[in-house]
Structure 1
């Protein structure tokens, strides 16, 4: 097998594993929702949106989950993304070690889901957020 083909197969296998672990860690249907990660000058915005704006069940599940993890993240607990992506996820170690005065993590509802805003003045943490995204 050609090296490039082997790399593609390994990448696809990794995506399947992440999707399987994500389905266990996130209470909403991954097929009915969309994740959007936007890097900003001072951090980033993580959005989860229901593909069908009338799907109130998925929207509530999104909101509940993002509210829960935003509280955990403010406490330095990033165990849920670590379960999905592994402990070597880019940027994760820096985010876990950040003090509450170094990073702001704020939850906000959207009409069709929710978002978490990440803000820091630390270049190292901004870089970590961008890597994590």
Structure 2
């Protein structure tokens, strides 16, 4: 390849990478207006859409997202461990999500966070190569995602990061 073509190809790749990075940053950043409760407009919109998908109260629960070397762990727990009003619906919802994700149906996260959510397309495409396991906890439930494909591990980590950003004070990085 001659130098002129190589420079043109390099410029095109650089432009595409910059465009992708700006697109992801604008998705994650959303509107940064604070609603007075410490949430951005995007986080409030996500919380509102979440209320129509998740049967538990986001104000009474917390999502924990823990990236791992083989995927990740998502815990949803009641803020008050003995709160049966939250624990039961958390378990029901995550059990349904484990089944749906195992069949490639990521419709609930797409409805809450949008179809362009980072990692979502790769997870939908590679769902057959991701093991999703449901487990109960005394204060909620856990989904464990496992794969041996680096690209899917990266997609899970991106997906977790997007949820952390979007859920704001309703989510934490797990330990």
TM-score normalised by L of structure 2 = 0.70
Higher helix proportion (structure 1 or 2):
2
SS at match of 2:121: helix
Tell me, which stretches of 5 or more residues in structure 1 are unaligned? 1-5
1:43 aligns with 2:71: yes
1:132 aligns with 2:159: yes
Q: Which has the larger radius of gyration?
A: 2
Partner Cα distance (1:7, 1:113) in 2? 31
Any residues of structure 2 matched to 1:1-133 within 5 Å, and which?
A: 8-9=32-33, 12-100=40-128, 102-133=129-160
Query: 1:73/1:99 Cα in 2 relative to 1: closer, same or farther (>3 Å)?
Result: closer
Structure 1 ranges of 4+ moved more than 6 A: none
**Cα contact 2:104–2:125 (8 A) shared by 1:** yes
CA drift at 1:8:
2.5
Partner Cα distance (1:30, 1:105) in 2? 23
**How many residues were matched structurally?**
127
**Cα contact 2:31–2:42 (8 A) shared by 1:** no
Which stretch shows the higher mean deviation, 6-15 or 18-27?
6-15
**Cα contact 2:131–2:147 (8 A) shared by 1:** yes
CA drift at 1:120:
0.5
CA drift at 1:53:
1.1
Partner Cα distance (1:31, 1:16) in 2? 12
How well do the aligned residues superpose, as a CA RMSD in angstroms? 1.6
TM-score normalised by L of structure 1 = 0.91
Tell me, which stretches of 5 or more residues in structure 2 are unaligned? 1-29, 161-175
* CA deviation profile, 1:82-130 (whole Å, cap 9, x unmatched): 0000000000000001142x11000000110001000000000000000
Partner Cα distance (1:97, 1:59) in 2? 31
